[in-house]
Amino acid sequence: MRSPARTFSLLIAAGAAASAAQAQDYSNTLGVPGLTGSYTVGFEMYDDGTGPSMYTTGQFSIPGATGGSNIARWDGSAWQPVGGGLIGSYSNAIKAFNGDLIAAGYFDSANGVAGSAKLARWDGTEWHSMDAQSEIFLNSFWDLEVYDDGMTGEQLYIAGNYGDLNGNTALDHIAKWDGTTYSEVGGTIGGAVPLIVLDLLASDFNGSNLLYAGGRFLTIGGVSALNVAVWDGTAWDDLDGGLSRTSGFAQVLHMTSWDDGSGPALYVGGRFNLAAGNPISTNIAKWDGTSWSSMGSGFDADVHELVAFDDGSGEALYALGSFSMVGSRPAAGIAKWNGSDWEAVGDGADNTVFGGGVFDYGEGPALVLGGSFTNAGGMSSSKVGAILAADTCPADINGDGSLDFFDVSAFLAAFAAEEPAADFNGDGSYDFFDVSDFLGAFSAGC
């Protein structure tokens, strides 16, 4: 039985401790020395036969490595070359497909292999041509997605601003590859804007197996669709008038599906401020399968990527991009949705964050960040960094992600009732040492 005096003393001591929220835990393990050059943009897990590893692509070199440009593999402690690298300007996307890793972009070749310009296949040992015949100067590839239309099985869908594939000029901007043959996907895009398909997403968020395409276009497959459209395996359709901008050209840069608690939906980032011709939150929007809605205050510059990640306080949607403000509040390239608006994530990054994804590269589940930055979270981190999932804080007794009076109250109740939550040192007894450990954790913010 705990004495009232002891309980009162504990309450006073805990009340005097500073209430604290768990800090966002950045890591620069991937970024020191990191990668040199311009940027990283895409990530993918791929097993070359020796176990899964995280790969990244973009426009960079690996410090100390020979022939390791534009693509790299994390071996658990350092970045390593991938078969001599992608020789030339840059790469935009990598995707695992049929046991291989596919790279797409604007490079001259993969390690000098003939016919591997701009689109190449890594089998875990060496690079191969995909017979894209894409050496035309203007051709470039921007995204890859694996999608099963329910009729032909999984195929690789290829997005970009290319004018032909495998010598076929009917295959432009979006096409698919079954591992041997390229074919069209319901026609091409059109309009009076610089035409390009920038992002593809396979999703069944609304109960149907669909492929979404985003970029800069006014029509697709002959259907009017402003910068975003959906493919059901047979035909293209628009999304209630699509996304546009009051001045200048609009573009969709990235899409993801996520459930914020009110049901699964499609979340879209890019450069726009109109949906179905009506004002919407700048550069970010939500599609519920029927209509568009705003997402808080919006951003002052492009949103390049959207990623769902649980940092230890519950899964949330993160926005990555070139923005510096959310509404009137600073947010340097990284922002988190709190259920009603966007908020800054620590110090953010000192330059554009182009891509990201959730991977465990050796430090537990992490939101891996890629871009042109040299500092992320207040730490030196060259072109790649990470936000780690925080360890569970034992002093957060009620599990709401913050430390406050309610945790003190919950601890006191557990301590008085001799419940396991109050046995801080795990010795099976409830005494001064448990109180001391709780106060220490509470004061330090875990």
| Residue range 177-186, pLDDT digits in tens | 999 999 999 9
Find all residues with CB under 8 Å of 83, minimum gap 6, and list them: 110, 111, 122, 125, 126, 127
Separation CA 80–CA 63 (nearest Å)? 9
211's tokens: 């492929």
> What is the average pLDDT across 184-197?
94
13 and 75 together in one domain = no
| Vertex 342 angle, CA 56 and 362, to 5° | 30
233 and 205 together in one domain = yes
Measured between alpha carbons, how far is residue 412 from residues 10, 408, 409 in Å? 8, 6, 5
148 and 242 together in one domain = yes
Q: Please, are residues 303 and 318 in contact by the beta-carbon 8 Å criterion?
A: no
143 and 70 together in one domain = yes
| Residue range 231-247, pLDDT digits in tens | 999 999 999 999 999 99
Which of 365, 388, 411 is at the close of a domain?
388
Confidence of residue 249 (pLDDT cuts 50, 70, 90): very high
427 and 294 together in one domain = no
Instruction: Evaluate if residue 4 carries a pLDDT over 90.
Output: no
| Residue range 54-82, pLDDT digits in tens | 999 999 999 999 878 999 999 999 999 99
Closest C-alpha to 366, from 319, 311, 316: 311
| Residue range 359-391, pLDDT digits in tens | 999 989 999 999 999 999 999 999 999 999 876
Pairing of strands 264-271, 251-259: antiparallel
Q: Please, are residues 117 and 130 in contact by the beta-carbon 8 Å criterion?
A: no
Instruction: Evaluate if residue 211 carries a pLDDT over 80.
Output: yes
12 and 49 together in one domain = no
First-to-final CA distance of the chain: 28
> What is the average pLDDT across 79-89?
96
Which of 388, 408, 425 is at the close of a domain?
388
- Sort residue 85 into left (φ over 0), alpha (ψ -120 to 50) or beta: left
User: Which residues on adjacent β-strands are paired with residue 397?
Assistant: none
Number of independent structural domains in the chain: 2
Confidence of residue 419 (pLDDT cuts 50, 70, 90): confident
Residue 92 burial by Cβ neighbours in a 10 Å radius (0-12, 13-18, 19+): buried
pLDDT at 7: 38
337 and 411 together in one domain = no
pLDDT at 262: 92
User: Which residues on adjacent β-strands are paired with residue 102?
Assistant: 95, 121
Closest C-alpha to 173, from 156, 191, 197: 197
Confidence of residue 193 (pLDDT cuts 50, 70, 90): confident
Which of 388, 418, 434 is at the close of a domain?
388
403 and 379 together in one domain = no
What is the span of the domain harbouring residue 331?
24-388
Separation CA 209–CA 200 (nearest Å)? 13
CATH number of the CATH domain containing 354: 2.130.10.10
